[in-house]
Chains A and B, each alone.
Chain A
Amino acid sequence: MKLRHGLMAAAAAATLAVSPLAQAETFKFAFQGNLSSLDPHSLNETFLLSSLNNVYEGLVLYDENLSIVPGLAESWETIEPTKWKFNLRKGVKYHDGSDFTAEDVVFSWQRALGEGSDQIARASKIKAIEVVDDHTIIIETPAPNPILTSDLVNVYIMDKGWSEKNGAQNATSASDTNSGNFANLNANGTGPFIVSEHKPDVKTVYERNPNYWGSMKSNVTTVEFTPIKEAATRVAALISGELDLVYPVPVQDWQRLEEAKGVKPLAGPEARTIFLGMDQGRDELLYSNIKGKNPFKDIRVRQAFAHAINLDAIKKKVMRGQATPSGLMVAPQINGYQADLNTPYAYDPAKSKELLVAAGYPDGFEVTMDCPNNRYVNDEKICQAVVSMLAKVGVKVDLLAQPKSKYFGKVLATGGYDTSFYLLGWTPGTIDTENVLSSLLMCQNKEAKKGMFNLGNYCNPKVDELSEKVGSETDQAKRNAMIAEIFKIVQEEYGYLPLHQQPLSWGVSDRVSVVQRADNQLDFRYVVINK
């Protein structure tokens, strides 16, 4: 570590000598969660991927608008529907000085695919990699895949030599018997920042990489990250001037930030869609007073629910005006979004009541709703609002709001989809609709690994058939037409009840400018200290 610091100092000195940066600029920020590992393949989690993308890079990167830009690959082309040729960037060096070559890409792909990795889903989008020369590779996919590059954004490249030398060939996993995987606490990437200190759950310090291949907007030389779990402490630390950025900020604290000097709230729509799901698979609901049949199998009941929920009221009262009511299961930032179909179900309680009468429930019925209380922005409050809105049309909802570990343990596949009515949020990791189709809209199918988060098992063979085609259709126009058709079907069948896109909520000091990406990631490349 000492030696490392020495190197750091030398590196910093070199930066000062060659770059126009006049002095050390430290950017300090806090997030509610922690950086659990430095291993880029250990956990497929937003914050980990976001932090490590400043240290490690993939073949391609996202820019500030979530468009794909060249990363470690300079350019690429599709030579056959299932074969992509990537020209790798020349002269890129890892933080320890070794060269980046094609062999590292093959190694990283195998590591991401191997034991202990949590990036298997992404890595398995690649069938084989052929090394043409040190800076050219051909990637073969199992089927034509129009969005291969979106999957590659988060498959970070590690140095083969470094990993092998330090015994870190396999990804860090909690079930490892050889604990203390070197890559868990040490990093060696190609990115613009170098990890100089990492104490899990206490502090992580990054220093600017003086030899970074790319140019960036940022003038920051040091980044200090501290996890702060308590929202009140986080906000206080920002207002007191100790930190430059904190996130997330509770929406109820926005006014305080607006009134305080030198800080402001930074809000934008997140690419995450919050929605309600209903069990349409079982013949009898697990949690309801209706026995022998499942009310949600009746489209009129689902429609009644759709018209009973007042999205504007949720936006105004629960989200303090900071949500975007949605009629679709994907946000505008997502590839495949259909603007003309994004009309939320109209609020019409009278119609709801009529529909319930027609469906044979003139006095409504009882059902239990599962809800997380520490996962999404104001999740429990949204559920409470939904409960009272449904009560107005006669449906008595018993709310079961729990911390996310309990909630997910119950409603997900591991808990046997133990729910009748639930609230969930989803951001497709690929920023593409296909992920929503295969995870949420296709029928549950354990063998095919489809519909694994379709907790209520909404199932329509036509949707399945089209979704399969979307997965391999390379013609964008045809692809979009099929996506539109799927969304139409799901809307007409009231398969899901989308609520809104929740807001991103950051608190920023006037001292810095940052880019707030819709996937809630913080890219240090865009952090500028104002002078």
Chain B
Amino acid sequence: MVSFLLKRLLQSIIVMLTVALIAFAMFQFVGDPINNMVGQDTTQVEREALKEKLGLNDPFLVQFGRFAWNAAQGDFGISYKYKTPVSDLIFERMPATLELAFVSAVLALVLGIPLGVYTALKRNGWLSKFIMTTSLIGVSLPTFLTGILLILFFGVILRWLPTFGRGDVVEIGTWATGFLTISGLKSLILPSFTLALFQLTLIMRLVRAEMLEVLRTDFVKFAKARGLPDRSVHFKHALKNTLVPVITITGLQLGSLIAFAIITESVFQWPGMGLLFIQAVSDVDIPIMAAYLVLIAFFFVLINMIVDILYYAVDPRLRSNDG
């Protein structure tokens, strides 16, 4: 187990370095940061001096090397736009994104699994058919459109929920949480549902497919033949055997929830890391973009690792193979 973790750790460093390298190669094409950092009256000489000072004239490998070296020491540089340390900015924004991703993941699981089980069991019921059909909307509508439609309906027409932002937050240490205020919770509803919709549909369809598969297997038939109650057969025997792929997908999707919160965050002006990133792209704020991408790579590696560990817990066969 320890060697497994060490191996994973080493891999994660390589993944992060690769992501940073690719990112820096791309930064050559995002445009000129200097123009966003100075006003129209700033002279050419001053612009050149600033560019030189920031090291933007160096070849990209040199820039990458400098970034990697500083990042290894925990220094992600200073944002071009906000002129404050990037690590401060990202940590300030992280709670918003993590809370949003967490609520979305819970929503996706809590709704997705039961709906999946239900549609598998009542395969031909009209309600199942209705759920399956509407779920197609969930996978096919772009997040941006879902968000705008929800804003229009619940924010503008009904005026039940706020159209943007996070509401009031309470600071617990350095963590600003929106869970403790009414406006914070109300603000969470639309963005978390928007973000969860795709995952919800995915999990539901996955659970359904796996359930149908498992229900056909011999051990389920035997369980039924043994006269076990339906409830026990469905949830104890069948559902449990569908969980390995569900955990994998959910785990990986949690990573994407954090990473792809970008769109949801910009539709709802949710002050998380994704919004910071998308703003950084239009400002060509290279230090923020670099730090964000590396951080997201780290999240993916971390989540994959946790998923692998969970396999051990869920599937006894893996444990015996290991021994």
Contacts and interface: CB of A to CB of B under 8 A. Distances in A.
A257 to B, nearest CB: 12
A174 B50 CA distance: 9
B38 A175 contact: no
B163 A242 contact: yes
A390 B78 CA distance: 46
A407 B282 CA distance: 12
A273 B110 CA distance: 56
A122 B165 contact: no
A429 B269 contact: no
Interface in A376-405: 402-405
A360 interface: no
B30 A406 contact: yes
A453 interface: yes
B261 to A, nearest CB: 14
Interface in B235-284: 266-269, 271, 275-276, 278-279, 282-284
Contacts of B165: 203, 226
Nearest to B55: A175
Nearest to A202: B271
Interface in B41-66: 41-48, 50-51, 53-54
B164 A229 contact: no
Contacts of A403: 31, 282
Contact of A405 (B50, B78, B284): B284
Interface stretch (A102-110, A230-238, A460-468): A230-238
A456 B51 CA distance: 24
Nearest to A415: B32
A418 B41 CA distance: 20
B44 A446 contact: yes
A65 interface: no
A171 B81 CA distance: 14
A409 B32 contact: yes
B159 interface: yes
A414 interface: yes
Contacts of B128: none
B197 to A, nearest CB: 18
B156 A118 contact: no
Contacts of B162: 240, 242
Given A232-B148, A240-B156, A44 B40 contact: yes
A230 B47 contact: no
B32 A36 contact: no
B215 interface: no
Contacts of B7: none
A271 interface: no
B80 interface: yes
A70 interface: no
B89 interface: yes
A97 to B, nearest CB: 27
A232 to B, nearest CB: 5
Contact of A174 (B41, B45, B54, B148): B54
A216 interface: no
Contact of B48 (A233, A406, A414): A414
Classify chain A's interface size: 35 or more
Interface in B269-304: 269, 271, 275-276, 278-279, 282-284
A170 to B, nearest CB: 12
B184 interface: no
A76 to B, nearest CB: 23
A49 to B, nearest CB: 9
A226 B164 contact: yes
A191 to B, nearest CB: 20
A405 B269 contact: no
Contacts of B279: 34, 201, 229
B68 interface: no
Given A36-B82, A403-B31, A413-B44, A229 B39 contact: no
Contacts of A174: 37, 50, 54, 78-81, 83
Nearest to A407: B31
Contacts of B35: 404-405, 408-409, 412, 414
B163 A240 contact: yes
Interface in A444-496: 446, 449, 452-453
A43 B39 contact: yes
A326 interface: no
Contacts of B36: 405
B51 A185 contact: no
Contacts of A310: none
Given A176-B78, A241-B159, A405-B282, A229 B32 contact: no
A201 B151 contact: no
A282 interface: no
A228 B155 CA distance: 16
A144 to B, nearest CB: 20
A518 to B, nearest CB: 17
A150 interface: no
Contacts of A199: 92, 271
A118 B269 contact: no
Contacts of B83: 36-37, 39, 42, 172-174, 176, 179, 181, 184
Interface string A286-298: 0000000000000
B268 A233 contact: yes
B159 A240 contact: yes
A184 B88 CA distance: 14
B152 interface: yes
B84 interface: yes
A120 B271 contact: no
Contacts of A21: none
Given A43-B37, A174-B79, A179 B269 contact: no
A239 B156 contact: yes
A398 B89 CA distance: 41
Contacts of A39: 83
Contacts of B266: 229-230
A503 interface: no
Contact of B42 (A44, A227, A242, A406): A44
Contacts of A241: 159
B307 interface: no
Nearest to A181: B83
A175 B286 CA distance: 13
Interface in B1-54: 30-48, 50-51, 53-54
A403 B283 CA distance: 10
User: Max chain B CB contacts within 10 Å: which of A118, A184, A233, A415?
Assistant: A233
Contacts of B39: 43-45, 118, 121, 429
6 shortest A-B CB distances, which residue pairs? A44-B39, A409-B32, A405-B31, A121-B41, A406-B31, A175-B53
Given A121-B43, A203-B165, 14 more contacts: A36-B83, A43-B39, A44-B40, A228-B164, A228-B269, A233-B268, A237-B163, A240-B155, A242-B164, A406-B32, A412-B35, A413-B47, A414-B34, A446-B44
25 contacts: A36-B81, A43-B38, A120-B46, A174-B37, A174-B79, A174-B83, A175-B54, A200-B84, A203-B271, A233-B164, A233-B267, A233-B269, A236-B152, A237-B155, A237-B164, A240-B155, A240-B156, A242-B164, A405-B30, A406-B30, A409-B31, A410-B32, A414-B51, A446-B45, A449-B44
Interface of A: 30, 34, 36-37, 39, 42-45, 118, 120-122, 172-176, 179-181, 184-185, 199-203, 226-230, 232-233, 236-237, 239-242, 374, 402-410, 412-415, 426, 429, 435, 439, 446, 449, 452-453
